[in-house]
Every structure is written in structure tokens, then in C-alpha cells.
Amino acid sequence: MSLTDLTIAAARDGLRAGEFSAVDLTMAHLRAIEALNPRLNAFITVSHSQALDQAKAADARLAAGQGADLTGIPLAIKDLFCTQGVRTTAGSRILGPFVPPYESTVTANLLRDGAVFLGKANMDEFAMGSSNMTSAYGPVENPWKRRQDNTAVLVPGGSSGGSAASVAARLAMGATGTDTGGSIRQPASFCGLVGVKPTYGRCSRWGVVAFASSLDHPGPFARTVRDSAILLRAMAGHDPKDSTSARVPVPDFEAACARGVKGLRIGVPKEYRSDGMPAEIEALWRQGLDWLRAAGAEIVDVSLPHTKYGLGTYYIVAPAEASSNLARYDGVRFGMREDGGDLRDLYERTRAAGFGPEVRRRVLIGTYVLSAGYYDAYYIRAQKIRQLILRDFTDAFARVDALLTPTAPSAAFAQGENMDDPIKMYLNDVFTVPANLAGVPAASVPAGLDANGLPLGLQIIGKPFDEETVFAVSAAVEAAAGFDALPAVRAGG
């Protein structure tokens, strides 16, 4: 087995046993990046020399018996996390020259535990997209291929497409992502990975370039549930620099993976069923429920009646917050600058050159719904519906321990498909958006393949700050599915 095929848990054990060094592990991944990144475009920036320096420091810590769970583990970092001394672009031209003088809290936590950063992963511009086609640095290619048409270039999902593709293609052992409306879970489903969106406030947002501040959730990608639990434990924790960071203890998520689901009540929200749902996704959902029932869980029908308003609410709240957050990119304080005849002209020229079409579209929508005369009609009404969506989850969780749903309405689609219809693109988030509006934890677990041999994910949604149950249910689905992405990804590569 190649070093790049190891899980994080297996690599951790191998490093501690001295079977290989952190430098060996890092070099294996850097060579994989050199071979495959020109085609996949999963990384915007590759930190070759920094990664080797961190790997050497990890070997020294391991030799001294001071290794933590992630010491020597090579990771990809979504280019939304500020990394001290390493360019951070948010997938946008406007931040192209920006090199942060500070480290985000999440990446600082990973470095504290000895992780090695291979580079910055490509992404939809400012995390706005479901395909990784809006990046100013070019689209990312999904390493998976359709069985019947192995020439079609598939999207990895978005916005964290580079993170997902890098892990699926064995360019990194794990990756960070952010999830505002499904941007961890949907790429995880498209790439056959485990993706976890923790409870809002579980991971600090400090040092993460903001899209929609009340919806952004940092979280991990990995190839197994256990690996994602190891990553989240390192990433999480209270941060006094983030006013929305929760002062709650960080449990042993890895231990929770072995808890099992016997005696748990798993809810099935009837609103997630629709006449237009593909038959294979409906069948996989039923199969997932059968797996959990066989493992000792009780299946309970529940209702989330305001789910149908989720997408509409999200596409008012998120653009509104984005229009406010992106006002800081003015060409004066940081990032790129276009010359102008006066200050207003400088602003207009800089933003016109620096922002792509999708970002401009969402900023305009957000500015509109916040404008005088429309604020009450749109934004305030959306916030009221958001509270009703949260109440739906609260009522459901009074009866059940977790929910099981599909993650996405389809498998990965080809580059260029759906791109001429923004509404069709937005529908990719139909199953994931409600959990962001409610701030509850959720994970996507690969559970099967479609007729084209592409991965499909099931989504587990849990109670606030009960990621342990999410991991327990996720591990049960993973064990029953017996999903092995390795042969398929290799065939596609």
C-alpha cells in the first residue's frame, strides 16, 4: 500500500511506531500533487518548503515522544482560512496578492497538534457556488469518472471543491472546508468522502474569510468517519477572539465512533421526499434506514414543515450578509487595487475587476433585500422563517436522536452542466441548507454508487453540540455500506 493510501488513523499509528517518517509521508503527498494537480487544479498554492519544514519539526516531536494525534499528518487547507505568511485568495482575483500576517484559529489549532500544511485548496470564489466553477483560478476536476463516459470532466461540488478533490485523489490525508449552505457535505457526497459540518460555534470563524457570518461553519473532510472525528477534535474549541464561539467542552469524537446506534431513535423527515427525487437516491435512503434498523436503531417519521422555505430563506439571508461582508474589499486596505479618477471610481473599478459574476450577482441580491422599502418585506421575513425552521428541528429532536436524509439531489455532474441556470445550481443545496439555517451539526457519509458508478452520500443531522451522536450514526452507516472509494478513484485517475 502506498503511503498516500493510508487513513489518518493508520498513518498516526505508523508514525508513532517508526514505520515511516513525517518527511516520508509529506514527500509522498507532494509528489502526488506534482503529478496530478496540473490536471485536477485542486491547489491554488502548494507550500512545498514550508510543508517539509513542518514535517521535519513533526519528526523531532515524535522522536521526543511528544506527538499529538495529527503530528506529521499532511493536510490541505481551504483557501478561505488565513495562513500566516502564505497567500490567501478566497478563490478571488481581488485577494490575489493578500498574504495574511496572522493565522486563523482553526489552522492554528491544527498546527498546535503537529499537522503539516501542503498548501491552499481551490474553491468557489468567496465560497459562493456548488460546483467549484466560479474560482478565479480555474475550475477543479473531480477525480471520479462516469462508468459509461470516462471522458466527461465532473465537478467536485462546491464551494470546498479543491479540498474534497485533494482528499479523494490522495493528494492530502484530510482537509479543512467551510459549509455555509452545504459546501462541505455536498462536495463530500460528490467525491465519495466524509464531510462534517459541526454545530455553529463549535469551530472558531476567526481568521476565516467571511461569506455569511451567521451561516459559515468550518469543518473537516476525510476518507473515513474516524479520520473526520480526529480532525474535528483538533479544529474545535472555544475562541475568545470569536464572539460566536461556544464555550463548551470538546468531547472525544473518535471514541464516539465506536458507540453504536442500538436504542437510538432516527428520524425520517417526510418533507425531504419529493416526486422528482431520483429513484436511486430514494432507494439508497431506504437502504440507509434498513442498515440503521438492523444495527438496533428505531426509525421514526418526523415532520420539518418549514423545510420548503429553506432555500428561499437562505438565498435572502446569505446574500444580505455577503453584501455587508464584501464591502470591505475596496482596493484601499488590502488586496488588489485598480486606479481610478477619484475614490468612488477606484472602488468601482477595483470591484468590477476583482469580483466574478456569481459574487456580483449575490452582492446585488443582498444589497437589494437590505435596501429601504424591501428590508421588512424580504430580510426580516426571512429571519422570522429561519426561526420557524429552527423550531422544526427543536420539535423533531424532542422525539428523535438524529435524522437521516440524502445529502444531494444527484451525483456529480459534468463541468458546464447546469451553469447557465443559477436556480438549478442553487437547488444542489436543497437538502443541506436547513441545517445551516438552524446551526445544527450534520455529516455526509458515502453510502453507495449511482448507475454511472459515481458516489452518493447520506446525511446525518444531529442535535446542537451532539456531534458524538452524529459520529456514532455516521460510523454505523459507513460500516454497513462498506464503501471503498480507492479502486474507483484510481480507475478514474
Count of Cβ atoms closer than 10 Å to residue 385 Cβ: 17
Task: For helices 381-397 and 310-325, give the axis angle rounded to 10 degrees.
Answer: 120
Query: What cell numbers appear for 487 in the block?
Result: 479502486
Peptide bond into 159 cis (omega under 30): yes
Residues designated catalytic: 78, 159, 183
Q: CA 465, CA 471: separation in Å to the nearest integer? A: 12
Q: CA 101, CA 191: separation in Å to the nearest integer? A: 33
Q: CA 66, CA 410: separation in Å to the nearest integer? A: 45
Among candidate residues 253, 288, 299, the one with its CA nearest the CA of residue 472: 253
Q: CA 493, CA 39: separation in Å to the nearest integer? A: 10
Q: CA 15, CA 10: separation in Å to the nearest integer? A: 9
